[in-house]
Structure 1
Amino acid sequence: MTRILMVCLGNICRSPLAHGILESKLNSLDYFVDSAGTASYHIGKKPDKRSMEVAFNAGIDITTQQARAFITSDFDDFDYIFAMDESNYHDIMRLARNQEDAKKVKLFLDANKTRFDKNVPDPYYGDISDFEYVFDLINETADLIIRGL
């Protein structure tokens, strides 16, 4: 089974969306998808209500997800680790114990060659339209990532 981890800052906006979108597109017998945050602000909380709303509107239920922090053992437990932005990427890489760990970490938008800016914008301080934009961006890029698995 291939194990994939999506990581953003607080694990309530971007990575839960990426988790839910990717999970909805992959066979659960062959793939396990999870998400985490590089900060521990929201541990144990559900995704942001706006993330849940835009996912629900697309037929994806992320309401059972709970925020958790990225931990070093995630390098052992996952085959691919996708960071939502460069800050998250650097935070994860600081925890890498060796080259094997580091090889697992990628920027999520590196898979999307049409995007010059490789940072998925954080919609937290925005409105629902920001969450819809992030959903569409993640959804488009998830298809590209799946082709590369």
Structure 2
Amino acid sequence: MVCLGNICRSPVADVVMSARVAEAGLDEVVEVFSAGTADYHVGKGMDPRSAQTLTAAGYDATRHRAQQFDHAWHDEVDLILVMDHANHADVTAGRERARVRLFRDFDPVDAGGEVPDPYYGGEEGFGEVLDMVERTSAHLVGLLADVVGR
């Protein structure tokens, strides 16, 4: 899961997707982690508004520490999910694109959209991001379960 700073969108997607993967019993075959394309927040926890939104919804937001995307991951992971087109351009610059997709390519309601960055907006933006991430993660885990035969 990749966004710009790894403190809002991608950590929310990481936490929610990790929870859904565990609930589906896929945590032994699917690893989820997040990063940012920029190094602004490396080592820091997620934005307090993201953490508060996750906590209010029953998720554990305490373990996240921001890290920067490493292009070596292109050779190490099966799928890189980015939150918007700018993240896609940063991650694919001069690289193979086959394993890089928009996270919302898997959104059952609005496939192919971006996950908007709530950082400069109001509190409601964080809830909207969580809603998108929850429905997309649920759909994506269903697809993963089909792929691994569970």
TM-score of the aligned structures, taking structure 1 as reference length? 0.88
Q: How far, CA to CA, are the matches of 2:31 and 2:12 in structure 1?
A: 15
State the SS of the aligned residue for 1:22. helix
One-letter amino acid of the structure 2 residue matched with residue 89 of structure 1: H
Deviations 1:25-72 (A, max 9, x none): 113222211000011111111000011111111111121111111111
* Residue 5 (structure 2) pairs with residue 10 (structure 1): yes
Going from structure 1 to structure 2, the CA distance change for 1:124 and 1:74 (only over 3 Å counts) comes to: same
- Which of 42-51 and 58-67 deviates more? 58-67
Q: How far, CA to CA, are the matches of 1:148 and 1:103 in structure 2?
A: 17
The answer to whether the 8 A contact 2:83-2:103 is kept is: yes
One-letter amino acid of the structure 2 residue matched with residue 43 of structure 1: V
One-letter amino acid of the structure 1 residue matched with residue 31 of structure 2: F
One-letter amino acid of the structure 2 residue matched with residue 121 of structure 1: P
Q: How far, CA to CA, are the matches of 1:124 and 1:94 in structure 2?
A: 25
Task: Tell me which residue corresponds to 2:76.
Answer: 77
Aligned length: 140
TM superposition shift of 1:144:
1.5
The answer to whether the 8 A contact 2:36-2:68 is kept is: yes
Deviations 1:79-108 (A, max 9, x none): 110000011011101052xx4xx2111001
Q: Which segments of structure 1 move beyond 4 Å, counting only runs of 4 or more? A: none
Going from structure 1 to structure 2, the CA distance change for 1:116 and 1:32 (only over 3 Å counts) comes to: closer
Going from structure 1 to structure 2, the CA distance change for 1:29 and 1:36 (only over 3 Å counts) comes to: same
Task: Tell me which residue corresponds to 1:144.
Answer: 139
Q: How far, CA to CA, are the matches of 1:81 and 1:110 in structure 2?
A: 12
TM-score of the aligned structures, taking structure 2 as reference length? 0.88
Task: Tell me which residue corresponds to 2:124.
Answer: 129
Q: How far, CA to CA, are the matches of 1:68 and 1:8 in structure 2?
A: 11
Going from structure 1 to structure 2, the CA distance change for 1:71 and 1:59 (only over 3 Å counts) comes to: same
Matched-pair identity in %: 39
Which ranges in structure 1 are unaligned for 5 or more consecutive residues?
A: 1-5
CA RMSD of aligned residues (A): 1.4
Q: How far, CA to CA, are the matches of 2:94 and 2:131 in structure 1?
A: 30
Which is strand-richer, 1 or 2?
1
